[in-house]
Structure 1
Amino acid sequence: MSPFKQTIDAKTYRRLKRRQQRACHQIYQQFSAPVYNLAYRMLQSPEDAQDISQVSFITAFNKIEQWSQAVAFGFWLRRIVINQSLDLLRKRTPQLLIDDGNQIIAMIAGETSITYDHSHDANHYLKNLSPAMRTIIWLYEVEGFTHQEIGAFFDCSESFSKSRLARAKQQLKQLLNKQKQEVSSYEKTL
């Protein structure tokens, strides 16, 4: 079960609306790990993930009246985290929608040393994708968003999400194949 499926009861909601510190702390304790993990997966930086986590909670607490209660509180908070993370990515990467990650593949192709077996380290591969592709693959494959919803996050069409997801998967496949070749070559030298 997604930790974002959790909601809050009416009493906690009223306490949040009155800005009671204990209610804010309770919500922070309940959602801090999934909020940080989502921000980290999108941003690939512990410092940025921590900053976005804090900003997201502050935003949620300040805008608690905007939560419709028709969806779980966690899903509403998740949207805030995603929007905050995308805003930061847009500020730092002006060509976020243009970058397809080809330069990253070229950079990795030039590496020849093997220092760590990343075969089970998905994060290692995700950080090699462009911010847009990393975000789209995470939102679609892990968070379960539709292409239409992802397109809306980027102010683009549904086909934007579909094409970027396909490219991201293709690049991940190239990275995995490259690693398999490197491991095979390395094992032959032993």
Structure 2
Amino acid sequence: METEIRFTHKALVEKSKLGDRSSQYELYELYVDAMYNIGMRFLRIKEDAEDVVQDSFVDAFKNLDQFKYESTFGSWLKRIVINKCINFLKIKRVPLTPMQEHEFHITDEETDCKEEAVDIRKVKQGIDRLPVGYRQILNLYLIEGYDHMEIGEVLGITVSTSKSQYHRAKKKLIEIIKEL
């Protein structure tokens, strides 16, 4: 079954590379919901997420010749959507939460919180209340699976800044959840 899906996706991509509009539409239908969800996690505004997703698909189809199957089509498209979301936020001048390098020391120590079951609703509400910069780092690291080096490249920040922002975002999220 998985081989059949991969074959079908590859066939759709290859037909789309040749300009087949129905194949492009099928790819769009396969991925639009997932890409929209990514857009919403980053942008929080329905219309902005829709615009970014549409632009992402247009760019993806224009540049399909650059897709070389080094990853899945979905991963390649997801990276386009994330980059477009980040660029959109940069244009809106949404900064990362400012910090001084000397304020924090990064360690691998666990937080002092006791492990307990947390209501997923509270986690979502907590993430929604985070400053945009924190939310962006959490989305990239926890949800999208980027590592700190990739986050640094995407956001134009250092790896240590990414780690610090992530550490601060986790602490802030825990504080918010405790208040809910």
Task: Give TM-score scaled by structure 2 length.
Answer: 0.79
Q: Aligned-pair distance for 1:11?
A: 2.7
Q: In structure 1, how many angstroms separate the alpha carbons of the residues matched to 2:143 and 2:8? A: 23
Counting only pairs closer than 5 Å after superposition, residues 47-86 of structure 1 correspond to structure 2 as 47-86=47-86
Any conservation in 1 of the 2:97–2:131 contact (CA below 8 Å)?
no
Q: In structure 1, how many angstroms separate the alpha carbons of the residues matched to 2:122 and 2:30? A: 27
- Tell me whether 1:91 sits opposite 2:85 in the alignment: no
Change (3 A) 1:162 1:8: farther
Any conservation in 1 of the 2:36–2:49 contact (CA below 8 Å)?
yes
CA offsets 1:37-83 (integer angstroms, 9 cap, x no match): 01100111111111111111111001101112111111110110010
Change (3 A) 1:175 1:9: closer
The residue that corresponds to 1:127 in the other structure is 128
**One-letter amino acid matched to 2:41:** R
Q: In structure 2, how many angstroms separate the alpha carbons of the residues matched to 1:91 and 1:154? A: 13
Which structure 1 segments of 5+ residues have no match? 1-5, 101-117, 180-190
The residue that corresponds to 1:149 in the other structure is 150
CA offsets 1:111-152 (integer angstroms, 9 cap, x no match): xxxxxxx86243322222222211110111112111111111
Change (3 A) 1:11 1:120: closer
Q: In structure 2, how many angstroms separate the alpha carbons of the residues matched to 1:47 and 1:125? A: 23
Change (3 A) 1:7 1:141: farther
Any conservation in 2 of the 1:42–1:135 contact (CA below 8 Å)?
yes
The residue that corresponds to 1:3 in the other structure is none
**One-letter amino acid matched to 2:148:** H
Q: Aligned-pair distance for 1:153?
A: 0.5
Any conservation in 1 of the 2:149–2:159 contact (CA below 8 Å)?
yes
The residue that corresponds to 2:14 in the other structure is 14
The residue that corresponds to 1:138 in the other structure is 139
Change (3 A) 1:55 1:10: same
Q: In structure 2, how many angstroms separate the alpha carbons of the residues matched to 1:70 and 1:119? A: 34
RMSD: 2.0
Q: How many residues align?
A: 156
Any conservation in 2 of the 1:89–1:131 contact (CA below 8 Å)?
no
**One-letter amino acid matched to 1:97:** L
SS at 1:77's partner residue?
A: helix
Q: Aligned-pair distance for 1:8?
A: 5.8
